[in-house]
Every structure is written in structure tokens, then in C-alpha cells.
Amino acid sequence: MPQLLATECVTHDFCTQRGAKLASARFDTASHSIASSTALAFDASIRRINASIGRLLFLLVLIGFSAGCTSTRYVSSRSIRENPLATNLKLVAFRGPEISERTWHTLDRFGLKDQYATDHNKCFAKIRQTINESPDSELVYALSELSYVEGKKAERSGDMLHALNHYGIALTNSYDYLFSDDLEITRNAFDPQFRAACDLYNESLEDTLRILCSEHRIEPGSTYTISTPDREFIVRTEMRGKWKPEEFDRYEFVSDFDIETLNNRHTTYGLGVPLIAVRKPADNNDSRERYYPSGLSYAVSAMMRCPTGTSGTRAGESATCVLEFFDPLEANQIEIADQWVPLETDLTTPLAYFLDSPEFRKRNHATEGLLDPDGSQERRGIYMLEPYDPNRIPVLMVHGLWSSPLTWMDMFNDLRSFPEIRERYQFWFYLYPSGQPFWISAQQLRTDLASMRDSFDPGHRDQAVDNMVLVGHSMGGLVSRLQTMDSGDDFWKIVSDQPADKLNGTQEDRVKLVSTLYFKPNQSVGRVITIGTPHRGSDFSNDYTQWLARKFIKLPQIFVSTGQRLTRENPDFFRDTELLTAVNAVDSLSSKSPIFPVMLRAKKSPNVKFHNIIGVLEKPPLFGPKSDKNDGVVEYASAHMDDVESEITVDAEHTRIHMTGKAIFEVRRILLEHLQEVDAQDRIATGPSERPVHAADAYRR
């Protein structure tokens, strides 16, 4: 089943898309030539053999390319940062920056045009005086824009202190324009100037933060006094998320990067500066730390509040401001001046930045997980890309053969874009050596889930964890479903007719084997979604592909040595010793494997509900499965299940079913259905008078 091996991997996990297309094109040419030259000479059975050989060649080509190709980039650095004011204020023009035409008209209307041309400082003082005597929104806006332009000029000349002073004036006056009570009558949210004021606020805040970050002066929880030639600011910094103030190593700016690979970029428009907060590794003695990958980055939105002082000063002249760091996963709006204000957020760029980091690339070795399961065991485990939340239901995503958690990033990115999903769910990812038999991976997942629970919730008090949803793609669907089954004696009888308690060997060896074949349902799992899963095996696992897989896949030594010792110490005890010593992931997926009939009839937890998503291509590939209904790798007859709550088909090839909009939206629908049932149970348990607190209430001030 080389095509199962080749296509299970998301191509950009190990090779550039260009290289993959070239490999595919060469294969198509070669296979077409083989088919043409043999059509008249061989019968249908010989052509099927040639098809299998063609798939073997395809796998070999892909393995060859994987050894020498570069990895796909997820972000690229922009030569000029993204700035919505760039065009209107001519920020990147040779003769810029310049104030807008509307601000020129405002200066002219108030008789300040000539004074601005001769002496900026006197002009600014006159504007402030006029505003204090008779507040006018047009003048407040003009002062903010004029100050921002002067800040850009000072920054170009290298005078960062004056630049910081002007950005501070632009920031506080744009805040004044947006929130001062005495401008409420003239302020018009339908006026393009209103959005321009939002942009001035955001960009002056970003430029202020850039200067402060360059001087390493941003540390949440601290208070800073910033002295400039004209004034003195006091900035108090506060965290509004679940993070600790000392958790972040540094901040990067979203506007410096472009998304390269993820299908969609999810943002919201409002006030604030979207940041990439790069996490600092915590104490290694903390058992929870191993669940957070190195180099992890979070989405953060920074906001600055500039309230009026007790002496009656305007917000534009405020000497004390509060810099707040918000978690957009908890809420995308905050309360300011008795009104809800949307936050400017970006959930995708911080994710892409992490995926592009060297630390992540070291862990994301899909090919190593396939070909060397033993060597990749140390990277096995559950990983979290956001802080553990005891009140959010976990969604654990399990990848398939020749793959990694990277395969889930488009679905993860899109699902988090829905507020109702990110408010109630947290997403975890399972990384495991995909070259080993899937029942070994299932046993390891049971162990890893138990260890995770002991680390974060040793008292099992977090009710949300007991409503966990598993989402498995391809072989990962089999690993997931095995978490819900009661083995009884059925799985043991696959390998032996004799009772397990008569097995000879060391305690350690016997426990390893027995725990793989004897298990109970995980009571924390409430729902399972399988995608493109061969529930009855795949015909691509045949003599040819199994031979090739055994040439390349290096089985875990602990698995092989344990099986060899047990078979040696228990002659005539086992039905088929190959199941204990020589079976790899490709062998385990054979439609002739004795495990599939047992899985289909196994007793499952009555509290678990199942859903299924199947790929059915309108135009199946030349070397696909025998039937017309398949995804290029798995036949519909193998993927279809009768015990599911819902089942849909998607016109997509095997490796991309879970990346399609239709599949992602179906997973969203299932997750919302799951919420309804969980909430209904909570209402019965707590009574109708109690209402759960939602994350959107967290930033009410």
C-alpha cells in the first residue's frame, strides 16, 4: 500500500510543494507509459500487479525527494510592515510622510495652516488651547494625525525620544477622539474619519511599543515612567489572560509577517495591536511543562487606556496610561467608557510563526516517525498550543500514517475562528511514531492520556475533561476508536487460545503485551470523529507494499525484543508470532488483518457517540482502490460505519479530506451538537437558576 504511505503524509510536512508536484508528474508519465506498453500484452491481473509496482515507484520517488527538499515556510518577513495609514499619509513615499487633505482643510478652517507651515510646536500648542476651550472632534483628530506624522519624521531622522513623544500625543488624542464624553455629539461612527482615528490609535500604539520593546522596557506587571522632551508618561502594564507576567520571552509584531501556507488568516478588526508572544520555557521540574512544545507562541492583543485625570484633564493630556495584554481566545471585545469595543486580533499569524520556528521543525519529523518509530519515541506525546483550561472541553486530534500534528493546523486554525468554539473548547494534539502497529499507538495513547490527567487534574475535578472529543484522521481514527472499546478476551484471542495468566516471562514483558490487548474504555471520551479511516483495513496493504515497508520501516526495538523474548519463552503459545515481532503500521492496516473483525464487533462505551467523514472522489485516480467510491486510498466500503450518529462524504483525496471547508464545518457542527448535550446535562445537574459564566464576560471593567 505505498499510496497509503505516500499520501497519508501531508506533502508539505517533508517536501516543498514544487518538489512533490514534480515527483507526481514524473510518476504520472512513467505509469502512463507502463500502462500503454502492456495494455495489449497482459491481462487484467497483470495490469493490477503493474499498478502496485507503480505505486511502489511513487513511494520511492517521494522518499528520495523527502531526503533533500527544504521545508515549506509558514510565514515570511515583510520588507515594509503592514500599516493602513501608509497610503493616506504617504508613509513610504520619497517626500512623505504628509498629513491628509482633510487635516489640511481643518487647519485652514481654524486659521492654523500658515502657522503649521512655519512652526509646528506653536501650532500644536494653539490646537490644544482651542480644544480645551471648545472641544472639537475635527481638531482632536487633526492633532492626533499631525503628531503621528511628526513622530514618523523624528523616527526617520533617528531621534527616537522625540518620536516616542509624538506617538504618545497621537495615541492619547486618538483615544480622546474615540471615547471622550464631550465629543459624543460630534463623533460619527459612519464617518471614514472614525475608522481613521482607530487606525491612528492602533498604529501610534504599535510604534510606541516598538520603541519600548527595542529598549526591553515591556514587562507585564511593571510600571514605567517615560520621560520625553515635552512631557512625562507613566505606563502601568497588566496581563488580562491566563498567562503569568514572566511567561513570555519576547514579543513580535504581527504586521511584520505574511502568511505563506495556512489556507485562511483569521482576524478581527477593532482597537489594539496584535502581537506574537513567544513563550519562555518554564521550570523543567514541572511535569506539565512537557506538554508545551519549545518555541510556542501565543496570540496577544495590546491595548492602552488613557483615562482623564482627577483634575479634569482630557484623555489626550493624560499622564497615566494602562497598557493591557489581552488573550483573544478568551474574548475579542472589551468594555471602555460604558461601551463594548472590539479588539483587533490575529489568531493565525502567531500560529504560523510557531510552525515556522526551528524548535517546531525539530519535532515535526513525520518521515522519521514512519521509518524509525523507535528513534522518534522520545517525541511522542500530547501537545498543547494554548494554556490548559480546566473549564474548556478538550478536542484531541490524532494524525495518521506518515504524518504529524502539522496535518491538523488548517482545521485548528479555522475552528478557533468561531467564537462559540474557542470559548468552550481547547485543542490538543497527539504525536506518535506512525510506523508502528496502530494498536501499539492506541495503548500508548491510553497511557499518555492518563499521565496528562495526573499532571493537570490529579483529583479528576475538571468536568470539562470528562467530555473529551477525539478527532482522528485515517489510521488516527483507528487509534481513537480503540480508546472507547472494552477488549474483553477478544483481542487476546487474536494471538493466543491460552489464558494470559499462563504467559511466561518477566513482569515487564508480560505487562507490555497484556496491556496492549486487554483494555477498558476511557471514561473521559464522550465523542469520536473519524475522517478517512479504513475501519476494515485497506487493500493497499498487500504483499508488494508490505515487502517495501519492511525494507524501510525500522520497528521499535522494545516492541521487537519483547515479542521475541515472549515467543521464545512460550513455544506453541501464540497463534502467529509475526504479530508480536514483525508487524509494522503497513501490515497492521491490511484488510486481511484479524484485528478489524474484532474491532467491528467489540463492545463500546455506551456513553460515546461516533461520527464519520468519508472521502469519495468524483474522479478516482488511475492507481486507486478497485471500487469507484474511494478517496484514492481508502474505499468507501471500508470507511463506512453503521454505528455512527452522522456520516457525510467529501469530494477530496485522502490526505486533504480534513483540510476541506466541508469537513471542517462538519466538525464544527458536531462540536456544537456536543456542547448542547453537555449543557443540557449540566442544567439537569445544577438546576435552571444557575448560569455558566462565559469567557466573554471576563473583561468587563
CA distance 539 to 167: 66
Average pLDDT over residues 310-320: 66
In the block, which residue shows the cell 501464540? 574
pLDDT at residue 39 tops 50? no
DSSP assignment, residue 286?
A: S
Q: Is 532 left (phi over 0), alpha (psi -120 to 50) or beta?
A: left
Contact 384, 317 (CB under 8 A): no
User: Starting from the edge strand earliest in sequence, which strands make up the sheet with 223-227, in order?
Assistant: 223-227, 232-239, 320-326, 297-305, 273-279, 248-253
Q: Grade residue 364 by pLDDT with cuts at 50, 70 and 90.
A: low
Q: What is the torsional sign of CA 61, 66, 70, 73?
A: positive
pLDDT at residue 66 tops 70? no
CB under 8 Å to 378, separation ≥6 — which residues?
Answer: none
Which pLDDT score, from 0 to 100, does residue 648 have?
98
pLDDT at residue 541 tops 60? no
Which pLDDT score, from 0 to 100, does residue 672 have?
98
| Mean pLDDT lowest among 4-8, 176-180, 501-505 | 4-8
96 or 388: whose pLDDT is higher? 388
| Mean pLDDT lowest among 165-174, 279-288, 595-604 | 279-288
Q: Grade residue 512 by pLDDT with cuts at 50, 70 and 90.
A: confident
Of the candidates 261, 323, 285, the one whose C-alpha atom is nearest the C-alpha of residue 73 is 261
Which pLDDT score, from 0 to 100, does residue 687 have?
57
pLDDT, tens digit, 9 for 90 and up, residues 448-489? 999 999 999 999 999 999 999 999 999 999 999 999 999 999
CA distance 175 to 169: 10
| Cα separations in angstroms, 17 against 38, 72, 658, 659, 696 | 31, 8, 18, 16, 40
614 or 309: whose pLDDT is higher? 614
Give the CA radius of gyration of the chain.
Answer: 30
CB under 8 Å to 492, separation ≥6 — which residues?
Answer: 500, 514, 517, 518
| Mean pLDDT lowest among 72-76, 338-342, 577-581 | 577-581
Query: Cβ of 290: how many Cβ atoms within 10 Å?
Result: 14
pLDDT at residue 385 tops 70? yes
Q: Grade residue 246 by pLDDT with cuts at 50, 70 and 90.
A: confident
pLDDT at residue 64 tops 80? no
CA distance 51 to 35: 8
Which pLDDT score, from 0 to 100, does residue 254 have?
98
Query: Within 13 Å, how many C-alpha atoms sit on residue 541's CB side?
Result: 21
| Mean pLDDT lowest among 134-143, 167-176, 492-501, 561-570 | 561-570
CA distance 312 to 96: 37
Mean pLDDT over each residue of the chain, to the nearest integer = 83
DSSP 474-540: THHHHHHHGGGEE-TTTTHHHH-SS-GGG--S-HHHHHHHHHHH-----TTEEEEEEES--TT-BTT
CA distance 650 to 676: 25
Catalogue the long-range contacts made by 116-120 (C-beta closer than 8 Å, 24 or more residues apart): 116/146, 120/146, 120/150
Q: Is 358 left (phi over 0), alpha (psi -120 to 50) or beta?
A: alpha
Which pLDDT score, from 0 to 100, does residue 311 have?
53
DSSP assignment, residue 255?
A: G
Which pLDDT score, from 0 to 100, does residue 7 have?
36
Average pLDDT over residues 323-327: 94
233: β partners: 226
CA distance 299 to 278: 9
pLDDT at residue 219 tops 60? yes
Domain 382-685 in CATH 3.40.50.9100? The answer is no
Name the grid cell of 365.
Answer: 519529523
Reduced to 3 states (helix: H, G, I; strand: E, B; else coil), residue 695 is helix
pLDDT at residue 539 tops 50? yes
3-state SS, one letter per residue, for 574-611: CCCCHHHHCCCHHHHCECCCCHHHHHHHCEECCCCEEE
Residue 185, classified by CB atoms within 10 Å of its CB into exposed (0-12), middle (13-18) or buried (19+), is exposed
Which pLDDT score, from 0 to 100, does residue 54 have?
47
Of the candidates 196, 211, 215, the one whose C-alpha atom is nearest the C-alpha of residue 101 is 196
CA distance 85 to 490: 68
Name the grid cell of 124.
Answer: 500644536
pLDDT, tens digit, 9 for 90 and up, residues 652-678? 999 999 999 999 999 999 999 999 999
CB under 8 Å to 139, separation ≥6 — which residues?
Answer: 106, 110, 127, 130, 131
Name the grid cell of 618.
Answer: 468524483
CA distance 572 to 497: 10
CA distance 613 to 629: 14
CB under 8 Å to 347, separation ≥6 — which residues?
Answer: 266, 267, 299, 328, 329, 413, 416, 417
| Cα separations in angstroms, 166 against 93, 117, 170 | 20, 17, 6
CA distance 246 to 261: 31
* Strand-pair category, 603-604 with 646-650: unpaired
CB under 8 Å to 568, separation ≥6 — which residues?
Answer: none
In the block, which residue shows the cell 478557533? 416
Q: What is the torsional sign of CA 91, 93, 96, 102?
A: negative
In the block, which residue shows the cell 464576560? 697
Query: Cβ of 693: how many Cβ atoms within 10 Å?
Result: 8
Q: Grade residue 220 by pLDDT with cuts at 50, 70 and 90.
A: confident
Which pLDDT score, from 0 to 100, does residue 89 have?
96
| Mean pLDDT lowest among 9-23, 278-292, 295-309, 606-620 | 9-23
pLDDT at residue 557 tops 80? no
Q: Grade residue 146 by pLDDT with cuts at 50, 70 and 90.
A: very high
Residue 97: cis peptide before it, omega within 30 degrees of 0: yes
Name the grid cell of 335.
Answer: 468594555
pTM to 2 decimals?
0.84
pLDDT at residue 40 tops 50? no
Of the candidates 388, 306, 302, the one whose C-alpha atom is nearest the C-alpha of residue 345 is 302
CA distance 177 to 198: 9
CA angle 600, 604, 608 (to 5 degrees): 120
Which pLDDT score, from 0 to 100, does residue 559 have?
61
Reduced to 3 states (helix: H, G, I; strand: E, B; else coil), residue 335 is strand
Domain boundaries, the chain: 84-350, 382-685
